[in-house]
Every structure is written in C-alpha cells, then in structure tokens.
Amino acid sequence: MSDNGHPLFEVENLKVAIDGNEILRGVDLTINEGEIHAIMGRNGSGKSTMANVVMGHPAYEVLEGSVKYKGKDVLELDTDERARLGMFLAFQYPMSIPGVTVAKFLHSALKARAEGGDVPVREFRVNLNKAMDLLGVDSSFASRYVNDGFSGGEKKRLEILQMFVLEPTLCILDETDSGLDIDALKTVAEGVNALRSEQRAMLLITHYQRVLNYVEPDVVHVMMDGKIVRTGGIDLAEALEEKGYEWIEQELFHDTDDATSAEAAQA
Ligand SMILES: Nc1ncnc2c1ncn2[C@@H]1O[C@H](COP(=O)(O)OP(=O)(O)O)[C@@H](O)[C@H]1O
Ligand SMILES: [Mg+2]
C-alpha cells in the first residue's frame, strides 16, 4: 500500500492501440511498495508498449482501462507530470545527445523535476559522486557526452545513475531485446538491488530470464499477445528459461479448447 492506502501502481483492463491496431488487449497489474515485478515475453508481445503508455508516450491511443499511481489516474497527465509524481521509465533506446555531458543531463533532469526548478550544483555534484561511487562508475563518466559512442553497459549505467539521482518511487526498466552483455546486465542488477527499498517499487521488463539471475523479483508475469497470461514467482521465470514460451501457449490453447467444449456441452 502507498501512504494513502492505495496500491502504489495499478493497471486495470488496459487496452491500447497504435495506428488503429490493438496491441494491449486488457492488461491488469498491481504493484505494491517495496515489490519488484518482472514482465517477460517474446518480441512483439506488447511489453514496451505497456511501458511507454504508462509514461505517457503520445503515439499510443488508450482505448479502455486505467493506470493509477497512488490511486490517482495518470493517463491524463503529461510525461513530466508523471515523472514529478515519482514515476520513472528507463528508455529502451536512449537517444544520444552530443554536446550535453552526463552531469549536465542529469542535473537538468533533476531541475526539471524539482519544485521551483532549482537544484544547487554543489549539492547535485555531491549526490552524483556518491551514486557513481556506489555503482563503481569512473568519475570521468560525468564529463562524457550523453550516449555518444556509449557501450550497452554505459547506456545502462546512465539509466541507473538517473534513477539514483531522481530517486523515483516507481522505476520501470525496459531491457533491450537484443540482450545486454554481462557487464550491462550486472550494472542493471547492482543498481536495482541498491535501489531496492520498502518505499520503492520496480518493474523489470525483459525478454530473457538472465537478469533474474542477479535480481530476484517478488512477482513474475508473462505477457503474450497484449495480455498478461501467467503470474507467478521466480519459478515461473525458471520454467521459461528451461522450456521457452511454447508450453504456455499450449496451456492457453488447451484452456480455450476446454472452454469451447464446456460451452458446447452446455448448449
Ligand atoms: N510505433 C509503432 N508503430 C507501429 N506498430 C508498433 C509500434 N510500436 C509497437 N508496435 C507493434 O506493437 C507490437 C508490440 O510491440 P512492443 O510493445 O514493442 O513489444 P515488445 O516490447 O514486447 O517486443 C508489435 O507487433 C509491434 O510491431
Ligand atoms: Mg520491447
């Protein structure tokens, strides 16, 4: 529960279209404070669509349903308003911003979010250095240009640094489908584990189970064809690692067959 008695984050019957195609077809998801959830699913199942809609990406059309943060419907809010409330999305494909250093970028992000828009440079620097120490990031990283020639691991480091600096209450991390190298994966995992707290919730979106070797989620969901079709514990992720996604599809088809024959029997 969040401090006002509502779940921290609640998605209900979310249906979303892009270019007239329905991509999310009724997603339900509740995340409480302190919990780490993982959403797994094959390419094209709708994971990134879900993350983007939650943060207010304008390309998507919400057809039905609600997204609530601390009980407040956020679908009418702009992305920056959502961020100011404490929601954070690490982008799957962060843009490079030549000419803007990591330090300046993070400082701007923090200022944009702060009441009154002012964050003293000195205070910011102290916090940034602390975060970089904790993550084992070399101090030269702060003066590099954002994502300019960054490796996969460095991009992830920047995302995690953003989370440290902004201290969001709900963090959504969308892992690239192409997969991260082991360093990048460990960076993400270390960051998530370091940021794990009673007040904060995290949603890890991942194509592969590998990151879950380093971060243990409380709840694992499987998304298929725009719906969450299975929810379980870490054993669900392990079953996916071992057997792939086909068995779930088979179970789903089987359920449908049963439902159809049950209907036929009733008729
Ligand atoms: N900007 C877009 N324009 C058109 N189709 C899109 C767009 N973004 C996603 N889609 C389609 O939506 C479906 C779900 O994509 P996505 O949410 O990226 O899945 P995932 O992250 O699980 O791989 C795919 O069929 C994809 O082609
Ligand atoms: Mg994706």
Per-residue pLDDT tens over the stretch 68-106: 999 999 999 998 889 889 999 876 555 677 789 999 989
Per-residue pLDDT tens over the stretch 96-137: 777 899 999 899 888 887 777 788 999 999 999 999 988 888
Per-residue pLDDT tens over the stretch 247-257: 999 999 887 66
% of the chain exceeding 70 in pLDDT: 91
Q: Residues with Cβ < 8 Å from 250, sequence gap 6 or more?
A: none
User: Which residues form ligand 1's pocket by a CB distance below 6 Å?
Assistant: 18-19, 23, 41, 43-49, 59, 177
For the chain, which residues make up each domain, given as ranges? 9-266
CA distance 68 to 177: 27
Q: What is the pTM of this model?
A: 0.89
Ligand closest to 50 (CA) is 1
CATH 3.40.50.300 fits 9-266, yes or no: yes
- Please list the residues that pair with 72 across neighbouring strands: 69
Q: How far is the CA of 50 from the centre of ligand 1 (A)?
A: 10
Per-residue pLDDT at 200 exceeds 80: yes
Helix boundaries (H) for the chain: 47-55, 79-85, 102-113, 121-135, 152-166, 182-195, 234-243, 246-266
> Average model confidence (pLDDT) for the chain?
88
Average pLDDT over residues 19-36: 97
At residue 176 the predicted structure's pLDDT band, cuts being 50, 70 and 90, is low
Instruction: Look at 114 and 204; give whichever has higher pLDDT.
Output: 204
Structure tokens at 151: 């490796």
